[in-house]
Amino acid sequence: MTDRIQGNHKDNRMDVLFYGQALSSPLMLGTAQYPSPEILRDAVLAARPGVVTVSLRREAAREKTGQAFWSLIQELGVPVLPNTAGCHTVKEAVTTAHMAREVFGTDWVKLEVIGEQDTLQPDVFGLVEAARILSEDGFKVFPYTTEDLVVAERLLACGCEVLMPWGAPIGSGRGLNNVFGLRALRAHFPGVPLVVDAGLGVPSHAAQALELGYDAVLINTAVARAGNPAEMARAFSLAVEAGRLGRAADPMEERDMAAPSTPVAGKAFLG
């Protein structure tokens, strides 16, 4: 069981497909909370993400600025993953997903059904139900979930081919709160694309997620609220690449005791 939870450091997940499509980068970038469209543009160009996520509800609420935002996203030429951010019920999430499909012309959707206001923890019961409905409607669902193995099984059984467990509460910047749970999820579902979504605050958190064998990370607040979003976006881009390459390079195993890096052979001894 221990070996299973630790995972296999010799695996190479460089060519993972998300619903049959390879991403150009293991970095997914959110588009909310940026101080201006220009700063968002600079951050996306610096990050070179595989996809950008967009909340239909959040942007539609901006009324007249909404169309300008859509135009900016289209100009950037990055694949879009619409999300159902802000939805608290199955009906809300399903309706929002259908609206997003009409607006963006994609069956991909990041599914959020929030169940607890302080932590923004997913309502896993509603999440599974909404995922089932959307999968039956032809959507390719990216569910924002916890690291719970049973919930993961239910989501896969209802048609999801990707899982997006949280690292920590949305916007908290706390990193990977439950490394053991994330390792267990990776080990139990070795063939499933996994994305750490939410709670990452600094580039080293993203590198750690890729080193654990995760296939991508989704970042928003850590970049949007940085003093220099473009520089932070670039830092995350480098971090995910370092983490991915480090995982593929078969890292050394941890030890409880020290091991000398310099051989003792040929060492001079004083009599």
Reported as a single tens digit per residue, the pLDDT across 143-193 is 999 999 999 999 999 999 999 999 999 999 999 999 999 999 999 999 999
CA dihedral for 171, 128, 179, 14, sign (positive or negative)? negative
| Percent residues over pLDDT 70 in the chain | 87
Query: Is the confidence at residue 66, as pLDDT, over 90?
Result: no
The residue ranges of every structural domain in the chain are 17-245
Task: Of 213, 214, 114, 231, give the one whose Cα is nearest residue 164.
Answer: 214
Q: Is 181 annotated as a binding residue?
A: no
Q: Write down the pLDDT at residue 65.
A: 54
- Tokens 């370092």 label which residue? 242
Q: Residue 1 — very low, low, confident or very high, per pLDDT cuts 50/70/90?
A: very low
Q: Over the chain, what is the mean pLDDT? A: 89
Q: Write down the pLDDT at residue 146.
A: 96
Alpha-carbon separation of residue 120 from 8, 76, 115 (angstroms): 32, 30, 7
| Stretch (H or E) spanning 245 | helix 229-248
Query: Is the confidence at residue 8, as pLDDT, over 60?
Result: no
- CA–CA distance, 82 with 68 (Å, rounded to integer): 17
The pair of structure tokens assigned to 127 is 């999440």
Reported as a single tens digit per residue, the pLDDT across 206-261 is: 999 999 999 999 999 999 999 999 999 999 999 999 999 999 998 888 888 888 77
Q: Determine the topology of domain 17-245 in CATH.
A: TIM Barrel (3.20.20)
Q: Name which of 73-82, 199-208, 256-265 the model is least confident about.
A: 256-265
Q: Is 83 annotated as a binding residue?
A: no
The pair of structure tokens assigned to 206 is 């993203």
The region that residue 217 occupies, defined by phi over 0 for left and psi between -120 and 50 for alpha, beta otherwise, is beta
Q: Is 220 annotated as a binding residue?
A: yes
Q: Residue 195 — very low, low, confident or very high, per pLDDT cuts 50/70/90?
A: very high
Q: Write down the pLDDT at residue 103.
A: 87
Q: Is 171 annotated as a binding residue?
A: yes
Alpha-carbon separation of residue 87 from 57, 157, 171, 214 (angstroms): 9, 23, 17, 26
Q: Is 199 annotated as a binding residue?
A: yes
Query: Is the confidence at residue 197, as pLDDT, over 80?
Result: yes
Reported as a single tens digit per residue, the pLDDT across 11-36 is: 445 578 999 999 999 999 999 999 99
Pick the catalytic residue: 10, 91, 110, 140? 110
Active site residue 267: no
If you average pLDDT over residues 108-129, what whole number do you get?
94
Q: Write down the pLDDT at residue 10.
A: 44
